[in-house]
């Protein structure tokens, strides 16, 4: 299997179009046309991680955090970023990052945490949903071919809404056109007006599937020049976006909930703002640096908002909003390797997926 084939599968679950505007997710170093020998998963690109990849025979390194966030002016031994880049090039490694697209995706980091923490699936939604991520695609096709077009769209992933697939709407009408000299019309004659009974097939699809859906339609549509309408849909997608909020089955003491997290989640000392609710039921979460969602979480009625980083004044602001719990950036994202491994294991092929033997937290605590 080529590395690019594996990455295409990964991007199906975590589309690059879901990354934030400041981000640099995706391919960072290497030639994806090489044959895949193995995958090593980590949180950060470090020299130890790259040496482990070579030792394990893995030529694809997938991490949550990108190595290259700023342009390099040189590749020297001066910084760990430059050393890692040089090492990857020397050993033919491909470095690939799945950062905020992993955070924002419906199957991403935050949803994984929510399910592990016991939040009810039916109550989950993004704290700040992404707007304008969907399009309505309308295709006009001769009635006899409408079924083929609908099936092509379904196979391309269009018309998927929640737990339903192949969702579409159709309306009958009449198409009119005149073929110009040089055309090879499927129906009608060159230089003559033609009317044809047609069906308008309408589906909803996310932005990252638009190109493949159009290609799928063109492969089965009988006309030389199929007619399309692509219309932005400005509704929020509750499953896609920053952070997550949901509810426990019943309210529990705050201390009980936080102690429960320690049974499966690596935690540093937890920093708390003044406690507003002794019991919690509606919980909000954003892995990493998520304090920008504090007001959004409070507006949605969160009894507790958990994230990895916050500023001093955020703890003051929380007094009038909700209880803020800060657990450490690494501590709220180390399980990215679990999420990635789950998706990669769905791809059939002769390759091994390894999680780094030691996930290194660059922050040390003196006690």
- Per-residue pLDDT reduced to its tens digit, 60-98: 999 999 999 998 999 999 999 999 999 999 999 999 999
Band of the pLDDT at 169, cuts 50, 70, 90?
very high
Asked if the model's pLDDT at residue 359 lies above 90, the reply is no
Average pLDDT over residues 135-146: 95
Average pLDDT over residues 217-230: 94
Of the ranges 111-120, 234-243, 255-264, the best mean pLDDT one? 111-120
pLDDT for 236 beyond 90: no
**The pLDDT of residue 149:** 96
| Confidence at 231, pLDDT banded by 50, 70, 90 | very high
Q: Give the model confidence (pLDDT) of 298-325 as tens digits.
A: 999 999 999 999 999 999 999 999 999 9
Q: To 10 degrees, what angle do helices 109-116 and 336-344 make?
A: 100
Q: What pTM, to 2 d.p., does this model score?
A: 0.86
The pLDDT value recorded for residue 45 is 97
Using alpha carbons, select from 129, 122, 103 the residue that is nearest to residue 43: 103
Q: How much is the pLDDT for 248?
A: 97
| pLDDT tens per residue across span 21-67 | 899 999 999 999 999 999 999 999 999 999 999 999 999 999 999 99
pLDDT at 347: 87
Least confident interval from 23-27, 119-123, 285-289, 349-353? 349-353
């Amino acid at each position: 299997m080529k590395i690019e084939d594996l990455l295409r599968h990964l991007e199906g679950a975590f589309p690059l179009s879901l990354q934030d505007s400041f981000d640099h997710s995706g391919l960072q170093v290497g030639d994806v046309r090489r044959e895949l020998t193995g995958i090593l998963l980590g949180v950060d690109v470090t020299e130890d991680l790259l040496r482990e990849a070579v030792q394990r025979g893995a030529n694809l390194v997938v991490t949550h955090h990108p190595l290259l966030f700023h342009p390099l002016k040189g590749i020297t031994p001066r910084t760990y970023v430059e050393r890692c880049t040089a090492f990857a090039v020397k050993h033919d490694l491909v470095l690939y990052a799945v950062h905020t697209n992993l955070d924002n995706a419906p199957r991403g980091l935050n949803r994984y945490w929510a399910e592990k923490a016991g939040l009810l699936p039916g109550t989950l939604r993004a704290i700040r949903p992404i707007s304008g991520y969907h399009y309505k695609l309308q295709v006009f096709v001769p009635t006899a071919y409408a079924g083929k077009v609908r099936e092509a769209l379904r196979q391309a992933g269009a018309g998927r809404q929640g737990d339903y697939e192949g969702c579409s709407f159709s309306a009958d009408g009449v198409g009119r056109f005149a073929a110009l000299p040089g055309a090879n019309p499927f129906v009608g004659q060159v230089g003559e007006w033609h009317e044809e009974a047609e069906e308008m097939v309408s589906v909803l699809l996310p932005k990252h599937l638009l190109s493949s859906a159009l290609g799928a339609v063109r492969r089965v549509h009988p006309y030389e020049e199929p007619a399309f309408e692509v219309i932005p849909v400005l509704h929020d997608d509750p499953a896609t976006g920053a952070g997550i909020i949901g509810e426990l089955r019943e309210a529990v003491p705050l201390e009980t909930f936080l102690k429960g997290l320690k049974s499966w989640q690596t935690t540093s000392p937890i920093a708390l703002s003044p406690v507003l609710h002794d019991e919690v039921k509606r919980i909000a979460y954003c892995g990493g640096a998520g304090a920008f969602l504090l007001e959004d979480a409070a507006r949605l009625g969160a009894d507790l908002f958990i994230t990895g980083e916050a500023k001093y004044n955020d703890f003051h602001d929380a007094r009038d909003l909700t209880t803020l719990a800060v657990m450490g950036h690494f501590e709220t994202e180390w399980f990215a390797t679990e999420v990635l491994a789950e998706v990669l294991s769905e791809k059939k092929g002769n390759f091994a997926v390894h999680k780094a033997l030691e996930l290194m937290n660059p922050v040390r605590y003196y006690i």
